[in-house]
Structure formats: structure tokens, C-alpha cells
Amino acid sequence: MAYNTVIYEKSDRIGTITLNRPGSMNSLSSELLKELDHVLTEIDNDDEVKVVILAGSDKYFAAGADITEIGQIKNPKDAHRFLKMAQSVFNHIEDLEKPVIAAVGGLALGGGCELTLACDLRIASENATFGQPEIKIGVIPGAGGTQRLPRIVGVTKAKELLYTGDFMDAQEAWRTGLINKIVPAASLMEEARKMALKIARQPGEALKMTKLAVNGGLNMEIKCAMAYEARCFEMLFSTEDQKEGMSAFIGKRKPEFKDR
């Protein structure tokens, strides 16, 4: 399928989604959100894809929601409709049974920052800038910024960013734990692919269960989370890859995983 606002490519078991609204700094319009959701559904149903990279351009990952569109919102009902769509797409990323890596170059602000928060891992270029500046125009983040950000960087730092609308450069984002790695801008996609390839070599069912255990457990009381982790662990003993992995370890050879 041809898309107007995103580019989707697949190779080496990696699906790469590139936001493609260069004239609007990759701002998140309804059209982009719908197309992104369509690509995610395609990836959901494609067993050949094990890892996803979500990227923007060198200067703009995504500079927020489309202000032209947001400016047309006149009442809470319209606001609810837009946020319901945005939250649904970001939740789709978070709930995808495959790891998603955000390759962040340039600005990731407002909804663009929230989009990175829904991903599993974040690699940023040296020129990356993160922020939730919604307070400066009289609103708050509505697609996860007040919820995911405190869970990632801690409540105190998140409140500072949310109350002031200040930006974070790549170094500060790394210090707070928002991103996994800082790389030169010229090698951002190369480094993202390197990490994706490393992950793609792991057994697929174990990858799926790892993400389920972490994300599911975060919303549970610790003893319930431990029980959930145990169920995920136990289920893997029904897979061929578990038997292959342990057999290879005992035999001191490289495992040949089949993702089943």
C-alpha cells in the first residue's frame, strides 16, 4: 500500500517506518496517525518482521501535533476525538508484540516526544531535543506524556519538564534514562539497525514474552507481577527455540532459532 505521510520498508527481519511530512516538521496529523496505525497492523500480521525501527528526518523526528489541525478544535468533544486516535496508535506501538526502537534525530517535542515514549528503546543523535512544551499554549500532554514520562525518567524530573515546558538535549535525556544511547547524527540509522539486528537474532517467542512480562508487570502489584512473569517463563517451555537454546548451551554450540 502507498502512504502519503509515512514510508515503510522491510529487510533483514526489520521493519522501518519513517515519518514523512517534511513540510510540516513531521507533525502528527490525523492522516499520519491513521497511516502509522495501518502500518503497525501490517507488521502485527507479518511473521517475517521481528523488530521495528521508527524514525523521522535528520532535523525533525516529530515536532508535535499538527497545530493547524489542533487549532480547529473548538470544544472538548473534538479534543477527545483527536486524543482518542493518538492514544490508540501510541498504545498500539506499546502493545506490539515486537520490540520498537525510536531512532530520534532533531526535534521530538510534544506529541513527537510522546511517540518516542511509547517505543521500547530510544537511540538519539547528538542533535536530538526532547520536550513536552504543551503548558506554554495552555494545555497538557494528552497522548501519554503525563503518564509514560514519569515512569521512565522519574516523577520529579517529569514534573519539572511538564511544569516548565523546558527542552532536554541528548545528553540530559541520556542522564535521566530517557534514551538508551547517543550517537553521531550521520550514523543514527546505522546504529539503530545494528541494535535491531542484534535483537532480531534472539528467539522470537522469548522476545514476545519478555515484552509482555515487562509491560504487563509494570501495571501490577509486585507479587502479581512476579506470578505473571512466571507464567510467561513457563509458556516458553512449549517452544522449539527453548529446547534448541538449552541444547546448544549444553553442547557449547551456536543455537539455530526457528522462532517457534
pLDDT category at 260 given cuts 50, 70, 90 is: confident
Q: Is 190 a catalytic residue?
A: no
* Secondary structure of 68-128 in HEC code, one letter for each residue: HHHCCCCCHHHHHHHHHHHHHHHHHHHHCCCCEEEEECCEEECHHHHHHHCCCEEEEECCC
Residues with Cβ within 8 Å of residue 259, at least 6 apart in sequence: 47, 50, 203, 204, 205, 241
pLDDT at 66: 85
Instruction: Tell me what the pLDDT averaged over the chain comes to.
Output: 95
pLDDT at 241: 86
User: Per-residue pLDDT tens for 185-207?
Assistant: 999 999 999 999 999 999 999 99
The CATH code of domain 204-250 reads: 1.10.12.10
Average pLDDT over residues 62-89: 89
Output the nine-digit C-alpha cell for 177.
534514562
pLDDT at 65: 86
Output the nine-digit C-alpha cell for 15.
521493519
Distance CA 252, CA 105 (A): 41
User: Per-residue pLDDT tens for 127-172?
Assistant: 999 999 999 999 999 999 999 999 999 999 999 999 999 999 999 9
- For residue 1, is pLDDT > 80? no
pLDDT at 71: 79
User: Per-residue pLDDT tens for 103-126?
Assistant: 999 999 999 999 999 999 999 999
Domain extents in the chain: 6-200, 204-250
Superfamily of domain 6-200 in CATH is: 2-enoyl-CoA Hydratase; Chain A, domain 1 (3.90.226.10)
Catalytic residue among 35, 134, 191, 229: 134
pLDDT category at 85 given cuts 50, 70, 90 is: very high
* pTM score, whole prediction: 0.94
Distance CA 149, CA 30 (A): 23
User: Per-residue pLDDT tens for 16-72?
Assistant: 999 999 999 999 999 999 999 999 999 999 999 999 999 999 999 999 888 888 878
Q: Is 31 a catalytic residue?
A: no
Which residue type, as a one-letter code, is found at position 79?
A: A
Catalytic residue among 35, 114, 205, 229: 114
Distance CA 240, CA 252 (A): 18
pLDDT at 100: 98
Output b/e per residue, 225-253; b: 16+ Cβ within 10 A: beebbeebeeebeebebbebbeeeeeeee
Phi, psi of 68 (to 5 degrees): -60, -40
